[in-house]
Structure 1
Amino acid sequence: MMQFARVLVEIEISEDLPKTVQFLNEKGKLMEQLLEFEWLPTQCRGCKVYGHTERMCNRKQTETWRQRGRNGEVEAKQSTMEHVPFLEDKGVTSGAIDANTQSTAAMDLSESQEISQHQGQLTNASKQVDELARNSKDRSTSEWTTPKRVGQQQVYFTESHNILSWNVRGINKREKQISLSTFCFVNKIGLGALLETKLRGDKVGKMMSSFFIGWNYYSGSASEGRILLIWQHHVVSVDVLKESDQYVHVCVKEVKSNKLFCVTFVYGRNSIEGRLPLWVDLAELSFPAIPWLVAGDFNVVFEGTDRVGGRTITALEMEDAQKWRALGLVDELRSKGSHYTWTNKQANEDIIYTKLDRIFKNEEWLDLFPQAEAVFNWEMLSDHCYCIIKPGATVNCGIKPFRFFNMWTDHGSFKDTVMQSWSKPSKGVGLDRIVRKLSTLKKSKVDWFRYGDDDTVYFHACLKQRRAYNCITSVVTESGQLIEKFDDVVAHFVTHFQKIMGSKSSASVPIQHSCFSLGHRLTLDQ
């Protein structure tokens, strides 16, 4: 009797086997199903061809052999030959090898290992000789080549799945569960907290096994029906550290990048007295050295502008929330989208909009995920906005150009720092030496900023915050299209300014170097 669905999947033999398949169910919803293979053919890890193992592969490989010279010296060489393992085991080589190669291939194992160990050193030495030859050739010519630095790769948050926080206001209905599953799939959710689920007992496991295949979940006794954690086990691993009826505090580790951080998902009570334990626990959950994110529905306003319509916000409502934020443990993550996150869905003058959902992070979060941002948008499934914390993609942004600010000259130690750096001995001749000195001077500027400010910690914290808010991670075009990929955002801005600035043109008059001797010139003291 067939106990599970069998699907015939036709793919190209050169492509990787699929792990999931997507399909539309009977309600027209897009679903994803994990695949399990009862049997797979043998595949060579070297040539990626099916039917044999890597040991039995007959493809060409690079073998290391040696040949004794007339003086008995050992010469290391490389030869490309047909690799026939079952013949080599019997001491027989391929017929494509000539007589000299056959005698050489029969050398003892110890000598072969010795040559292999020194092969890497010989290769590195050859590269150094080639580099010296190129440098010598460059010096003999009159052309000047500007030294270029290779940009370091700036890690933002690996392009993995997003983090979700959403007050769904009950998900007992099957139709709502299906829509929620589709939402998580479309928005690439890897870790999420569903608030006010109203699911208890076996209903949680039934929903997960039916519509969240391949997901793990946690519903504790203290937070049951209020906070439900879901995550894809192949994306992140989650350890629950502490929980109450108003929050669940977890440690998260990314599977691919092994990045470690903490997340506290919050669903606060709707009374001032009921939220008092929440503020006490959040104050004790401070992590000064670990990236920390606090997300959820706090059920309270933090500022006087967080409500439109209804009764006026009083100072008593905001007092506890503002005291907790004043501790300086976290500050709000950069966000976009809707400012207000809840509505009573009334009409005309009775409608009320309030900001109840927020995302906070500590300074270490910016060190690990400097480009992360929160997106608040409305969805028909709930009267609350959903919030998606989007990680930035790993891109190579290169190196920012050096900028000089006139205010630096007003600092008391500016001239001494410059002269101390400039007087250091430097290699090179002519412009090469000047470039090296300028590079050293810029490094001195970095050290000056790092150690010269009396309030270093606060200075760098403000700098990180400013960089995070000034970064453009997405743009909406005139046609309403949202562009979020880094390369596409850069291309959009370049194209826009090319239309304004015009096309590139070369200088019509060459530079007259004799002009440099005319007029006033800066002296060393200046």
Structure 2
Amino acid sequence: MEVCNMIGWNVRGMNKKDKQNAILSICRENKVGFGAFFETKLKHEKIKEVFENNFHNWDYFSSPIVSGRILVVWQTKFVKVDILLEDPQLVHCRIKVSGQQEFFFATVVYGSNSMGERKLLWDKLASIGQLKSPWIIFGDFNAMFSYQDRIGGRQVLAKDIADAQDWLALGQVEELKCEGAPYSWTNKQEAGDRIFSKLDRVFINDLWLDVFPKSEARFKWDCISDHSFCVIRNQEVNGVGFLPFRFGNHWMQYRGYREVVLHCWNAPVVFGGGLSKIIQKLFRVKHTLKRFNREEVGDIVLSYKKAKEEYSRVQEALASNPSDMSLLHSVTQAQLNVSVLQRCYASFLKQQSKLNWIKFSDDNSRFFHAFMRKRRVANRISSFTIGGKTEEDYSKVVEHFLSQFKKFMGKGNLASVAIDHSCFMQGNILSLDLHVRLLRPFTKNDVKKALFSIHSYKSPVWMVLAWDFLRGYGQILVLRLLLQCWISFMMVTCRRT
């Protein structure tokens, strides 16, 4: 389901035609299909004339209750809007996008400057309750939600945020990820007297990200108002590159997992040896497990859901015909399948949430998935801004991110620098005869003879040197033999003394 872009903006008056044209231009530039303008100062009887002259193909809602404060607009060819509730501080409506079956709710808010009147706003929002469909709330609340919502001027006090925090504590909605300007209003005074405040906000319920997982809000400034406007959009990401390989613990509970891994691991390696051989096997097992997950495991969440639906279906059929032995067998198999998939699903949730335990209930699963979606949205980098210009093209965002990473971490890789073999010829080197003597095979007696030829006043530093030499060339077997000979020598020495 696609959602049209939405806009919320305190325009501080729409009586002038130049300002109307500027607002319309911004709506076209951001492809807005639904929006709300606050503090329009337009009388209810004049709005029809304004829209007939400038806003062609746009519809609107206004009434004597909200006129001059809230103006709801939308493009009729994109959306259909039904007004459900109006109040001097909010308008609540249901929106259906053209060509889509689903609908969502939107509440546009313009809070009063009086703290006492804003208490009625919080009560009205609370009275809407917990909606069972996607719900978004945006607008100019004229209220602070935290101590950091104002820079300059009077310090934010606890009483300033108490009512807003009490409303948020009801759990109806939570704030949507926002980008752009951190503060949405300024008094435009000179340096030292200038105040920045965050008065405009966007909230969503937990069902919003189920339907619109790529939604985000961006605040931008324009010179025609002392408020920044907010564009809410369902961003389309062109691609996310290659996802890293992640092993699923629940894979081990599927039939054939052990055989697939062992067959892949025991298959001969065409070339290489030692550590290179192990790396090749690990790569091969990784790709085998990815194919196993794709072909055998699949979507564990969907499989578990289908298994439960199948169990309910055959159980209802058996209840209608209790004497049917085939249905009884089907119920037993379906119950066994649900039990297996439930364990796999629990393992999947446990691994994803990084917890040691998790309770099984619809509310817990729903909260977990909502939290994971919110974290993915918050961590996604979809744009960057340089010199006041925002770039949103995915390929350019990736290129910019990589260039910044290389600038911070460096471009060179010392491990891959080629060795200059000419350096070896500038010092003492082994002759061919010494090469042969080092490479020729030796026996245990040769090692024993070499050990006993060392004078007693010599320091055992040769053991350290031998360790470094052998570790570098991988002669672990020879090292073990040397250690055995040394132990034998010490035992003989102790007996003599």
**1:86-105 CA-partner distances (Å, limit 9, x unpaired):** xxxxxxxxxxxxxxxxxxxx
Match of 1:275 in 2: 118
Deviation at 1:221, TM superposition (A): 2.8
More helix by share: 2
1:453 matched to 2:358? The reply is yes
Contact 2:209 2:370 in 1 (8 A): no
Within the candidate set 469, 474, 478, 2:378 is matched to 469
Contact 2:135 2:208 in 1 (8 A): yes
1:314 matched to 2:153? The reply is no
Match of 1:241 in 2: 84
Contact 2:90 2:107 in 1 (8 A): yes
Match of 2:104 in 1: 261
1:420 matched to 2:253? The reply is yes
The one-letter code matched in structure 1 to 2:254 is: S
Structure 2 vs 1, CA of residues 482 and 419 (structure 1 numbering), >3 Å: closer, same or farther?
A: closer
C-alpha distance in 2 between matches for 1:341 and 1:360: 15
C-alpha distance in 2 between matches for 1:175 and 1:250: 29
The one-letter code matched in structure 2 to 1:314 is: L
C-alpha distance in 2 between matches for 1:315 and 1:481: 37
Within the candidate set 485, 489, 501, 2:397 is matched to 489
Deviation at 1:186, TM superposition (A): 2.0
Task: Please tell me whether Structure 1 or Structure 2 has the larger radius of gyration of its CA atoms.
Answer: 2
Structure 2 vs 1, CA of residues 346 and 495 (structure 1 numbering), >3 Å: closer, same or farther?
A: closer
Contact 2:214 2:377 in 1 (8 A): yes
C-alpha distance in 2 between matches for 1:197 and 1:279: 23
C-alpha distance in 2 between matches for 1:315 and 1:428: 60
* Within-5 A mapping of 1:345-494: 345-393=188-236, 395=238, 397=240, 400-404=243-247, 417=250, 419-422=252-255, 431=264, 435=289, 437-439=292-294, 440=296, 448-450=347-349, 453-454=358-359, 455-476=364-385, 481-490=389-398, 493=401
Note the residue ranges of structure 1 that are not aligned, 5 or more in a row: 1-156, 409-413, 509-518, 520-526
C-alpha distance in 1 between matches for 2:50 and 2:58: 11
Coordinate RMSD, CA, aligned: 3.7
Deviation at 1:397, TM superposition (A): 4.7
Note the residue ranges of structure 2 that are not aligned, 5 or more in a row: 265-283, 301-343, 351-356, 419-475, 477-497
Contact 1:422 1:441 in 2 (8 A): no
Deviation at 1:303, TM superposition (A): 0.5
Contact 2:44 2:62 in 1 (8 A): no
Length, aligned pairs only: 344
The one-letter code matched in structure 2 to 1:472 is: I
TM-score between both structures, scaled by the size of structure 2: 0.61
Contact 2:251 2:293 in 1 (8 A): no
Within the candidate set 74, 95, 104, 1:231 is matched to 74
Structure 2 vs 1, CA of residues 442 and 226 (structure 1 numbering), >3 Å: closer, same or farther?
A: same
SS state at 1:349 partner? coil
* Within-5 A mapping of 1:74-153: none
C-alpha distance in 2 between matches for 1:293 and 1:501: 45
C-alpha distance in 2 between matches for 1:225 and 1:352: 25
Structure 2 vs 1, CA of residues 256 and 426 (structure 1 numbering), >3 Å: closer, same or farther?
A: farther
TM-score between both structures, scaled by the size of structure 1: 0.58
**1:240-263 CA-partner distances (Å, limit 9, x unpaired):** 111111100111111144442111
**1:126-184 CA-partner distances (Å, limit 9, x unpaired):** xxxxxxxxxxxxxxxxxxxxxxxxxxxxxxx74x6421100111111222222222222
Within the candidate set 212, 215, 227, 2:55 is matched to 212
1:286 matched to 2:129? The reply is yes
Deviation at 1:487, TM superposition (A): 4.6
Contact 2:252 2:258 in 1 (8 A): no
Contact 1:253 1:261 in 2 (8 A): yes
The one-letter code matched in structure 2 to 1:320 is: D
Deviation at 1:400, TM superposition (A): 3.3
Contact 2:108 2:139 in 1 (8 A): yes
